[in-house]
Structure 1
Amino acid sequence: MSEQTLILVKPDGVKRGLVGEILRRIEAKGYRIERMRMLTATDELLAKHYHEHTEKPFYTGMTDYMKSGPIVAAVIEGTRVIEGVRSLSGATEPTAAAPGTIRGDLGRDWGTGEIENLIHSSDGEESAALEISVWFD
Structure 2
Amino acid sequence: MALDAADPRPAYQQIADDLRRFIASEEAQVGDKLPSLTELQTKYGRAVMTLQKALDVLRAEGLVLSRQGEGTIIVKKPEAHAGEEEGPSPHELRQMFERINSALDDLSQRVSAVEAELFGSTSDDPQSGSTGR
TM-score normalised by the shorter chain: which range applies? under 0.3
What is the TM-score when the length of structure 1 is the normalising length? 0.25
TM-score by length of 2: 0.25
> Which protein has the bigger helix share?
2
